[in-house]
Chain A
Amino acid sequence: MTQKIYIFKRFERFWHWSQAALIIFLMITALDLHGTMTIFGFADAVIYHRAAAWTLVGLWVFAIFWHLTTGEWRQYVPTTTNVIAMVRYYLSGIFKNAPHPHRQTQLQKHNPLQRLAYLFILAFVGPLLWTTGWLLLFYASLGDWGLGWLSLEWIAIGHTIGAFFMLIFLIAHLYLITAGATVSSHLKAMITGWEEVH
């Protein structure tokens, strides 16, 4: 029998979707900046990329505050329990209509693999992108800060590596939306807050 639980609160959904839009927009403008293809043109792309980056910084200020005050940061504490079961599920169980090994609750919104993936994004990819991004924004002042020894090349390469991680995450993330109880249940949850669980 199907039941519905309230997983994603209003702010969380707002954070998710606005962050998603900003990150995708940053990726598109990045194609101009990286010289991969011309979409907006370099000059405009610089402005859009910078504006989106600052908006994202602002959003993160609120998100970090929210996570700390609500204790939701605990959702990303890694666990080894059921990791193997999750891997097995994605490799075979999912094809056989086997039951999902993780049961979502308000205290455990994310399955163990999700926790690891999100922790990797939050603890490594995000910081890599925003530290290198800030260094790029303030490149002209690095000398004054005693960071003149940092080469633009390494900063830019670090930023590019972060961008590729984010792209790979995005591809997998978009697909795994369909891997809920039903094909659309995760998507509905992220829109309405209510997840169908079996």
Chain B
Amino acid sequence: MHSTISLIATALFAGWLFLAGNSPAEAALPKTTTADHGKFKELQGGFGTGPEVTKACLGCHTEAAKQVHSTKHWTWEFINTENNQKLGKKNVLNNFCISIPQNTPFCTTCHVGYGWKDSNFDFSSQENVDCLVCHDTTGTYKKVPGTGGMAFGKDMELPPGSGRIVKGVDLGMVARKVGKSSRDTCGSCHFYGGGGDGVKHGDLDSSMAVPDTDLDVHMDALGLDFTCGTCHATSSHDVPGSRYTPTAKDKGGAHMRGKQVEGGNPATCVACHDTTPHKTGDHAERLNHHSAKVACQTCHIPEFARGGVPTKMVWDWSTAGEVDANGKQIVRKDNKGKITYESRKGDFIIATNVKPEYRWFNGEITYTLLDDKIDPTHQPIGINRINGSASDGKSLIWPMKIMRGKQPYDAANMNLVTPHTAGNDDYGYWKNLNWGKAIESGMKESGKPFSGKYDFVSTEMYWPITHMVAPKDKALACTECHAKEGRLAGIDGIYLIGQDNNRWVDTIGWTLALLTLLGVIGHGLIRIVASKKS
């Protein structure tokens, strides 16, 4: 069965296949390293599959796989201790491709392991950890969609008998050249979340692989050249910086780099810059005061999707299913050639250079999970709902990408559903365009009931924006907010000089001033007339 799934895999993700590895590079050994993996006898020769490489790695790095096992990169599970919600990719829904269950062999192309195709996957296997996806320095490494993220050393006919050849990766060469993670390795998954370049995040896309100063002042490839790990400073393979429990207001001040700070998040702006980062200029003090209410990102990320790669802003699944006169699926594009409609996915709106929306945010996020009842009379339904207010002392005003869409729900049981989309079978929506079957199949895999009745509901999902930090001269000018109808219009709990006023005070004030003016003009005119008469 998996062989047939692979057929679709190659078709659906053909473009994606190449994204992770289109620039093989002869990377010189970094001067900082004390071990040249190219000289290790365990790594000489070829490897047939990814797990064989991992076995060799584990010969020396005896604890590495166990460390990875404890991270959410491996488990795709995360318990939010603030509200005891069971999250992680395995459990949450979104309003892009909606959910993982039943689509697992495709989604797990981005799992940091080998062979997770269904619930039989062995999460305790050390060999199944994928070392190379994070430690490749060659740009040639690829995981094959539809196989649960497997990597192959030889050309493979996938599925067997299909005549489709998936090119093998020189796993030996990749293994001999391993190094630290890079923008490319993290980006091979995180740039492509949501099923394509830039689709999901808005502040992470392939333009961030080699950004210039304007796109990201820290990652600037010709400047500071930060990798993701420079901020997400990792030890024991557990990467800090959570999207489930973000740090909205870091009161801890700057950290000593390299020093473990209990409960501290090294990836915040404040972790390096402190809460009073503005040192020079006439406005320095005033700007530092802003950090009590405004997240750094709000001014320093004026727009997201600035690298030329559009991000998806709206995804309406309810219009999916249209076919042409011959019953074939259709695709519509805008005048720039970007897809705006697909029969199997519905309507999209994509955008570049997007001004964020702004919200009070204290780091608390609550997801709407499969077991949660929804109330379609109060739309949009929050796929995740963020908490925060002007007065809770924990919130800052944050920039957000708010992804909006319409997606199916169970109209009798009143919960969101996990439709089966990808796959070359009788159920997958992308092939069959039949919601009933797709939802039934997906919910079965999720172990949840489906009433058989479905409808569509508007949803929204919050993505705090934190990457693509612009240089300081490109940060927001005062008047982006301190003006009538500025960017923070509608944010409650603040009085914004230049934006806000008291209507009564202004009306009465200007009226009295005008009456005074008219009064003195009238008085003066009478004096002139009177003096002429006399």
Contact = CB atoms under 8 A, between A and B. Distances in A.
A33 interface: yes
B512 interface: yes
Given A43-B283, A171-B513, A157 B505 contact: yes
A46 B509 contact: no
B494 A161 contact: no
Interface string B499-534: 111100110111011001100100110110011001
Nearest to A97: B534
Contacts of A46: 283, 286, 478
B484 interface: yes
A100 to B, nearest CB: 13
Contact of A43 (B479, B484, B517, B530): B479
A42 B483 CA distance: 8
A128 to B, nearest CB: 13
A35 B482 contact: yes
B501 A175 contact: no
Contacts of A47: 282-283
Given A168-B516, A175-B523, A42 B498 contact: yes
B411 interface: no
A164 B509 contact: yes
A172 B495 contact: no
Contact of B289 (A32, A34, A139, A174): A139
Given A139-B289, A164-B513, A167-B513, A95 B524 contact: no
Prevailing SS type, chain B contact patch: helix
Contacts of A136: 497
Contacts of A178: 524
Which 4 residue pairs are nearest across A and B when measured between Cβ atoms? A164-B509, A175-B520, A153-B495, A140-B289
Contacts of A176: 520
B477 interface: yes
Nearest to B510: A164
A171 B517 CA distance: 6
Given A96-B530, A164-B512, 10 more contacts: A35-B499, A41-B478, A42-B479, A140-B292, A152-B494, A153-B500, A153-B502, A160-B501, A164-B505, A171-B516
B517 to A, nearest CB: 5
A38 B479 CA distance: 10
A95 B534 CA distance: 10
Interface string A27-46: 00000111100100111001
A33 B286 CA distance: 14
A176 B516 CA distance: 12
Contacts of A139: 289
Interface in A132-191: 136, 139-140, 151-153, 156-157, 160-161, 163-164, 167-168, 171-172, 174-176, 178
Contacts of A168: 512-513, 516
A96 B529 CA distance: 11
A94 interface: yes
Nearest to A141: B289
Interface in B468-506: 477-479, 482-484, 494-495, 497-502, 505-506
21 contacts: A35-B498, A42-B479, A43-B283, A43-B477, A43-B478, A46-B286, A47-B282, A95-B526, A139-B289, A140-B289, A140-B292, A151-B495, A153-B500, A160-B501, A161-B505, A167-B509, A167-B513, A168-B512, A171-B516, A171-B517, A172-B516
In this complex, the interface size class of chain A, counting residues with CB under 8 Å from chain B, is 35 or more
Interface in A12-71: 32-35, 38, 41-43, 46-47
Interface of B: 282-283, 286, 289, 292, 477-479, 482-484, 494-495, 497-502, 505-506, 508-510, 512-513, 516-517, 520, 523-524, 526-527, 530-531, 534
Nearest to B508: A164
Contacts of A97: 530-531, 534
A55 B477 CA distance: 27
A35 B524 CA distance: 32
Contacts of B523: 90, 175
Contacts of A96: 530, 534
A33 B498 contact: yes
A32 B478 CA distance: 11
A48 B534 CA distance: 49
B281 to A, nearest CB: 10
Contacts of B497: 33-34, 136, 156
Contacts of A152: 494-495
B518 to A, nearest CB: 10
A32 to B, nearest CB: 8
A184 B498 CA distance: 39
B488 to A, nearest CB: 13
A176 B500 CA distance: 34
Contact of A42 (B478, B502, B520, B524): B478
Nearest to A163: B509
A183 B531 CA distance: 12
A35 B501 contact: yes
B506 A160 contact: yes
Contacts of B502: 153, 157, 160
B508 to A, nearest CB: 8
Contacts of B526: 95
A41 B498 CA distance: 11
A99 to B, nearest CB: 14
Contacts of B283: 43, 46-47
Contacts of B516: 168, 171-172
A136 B498 CA distance: 13
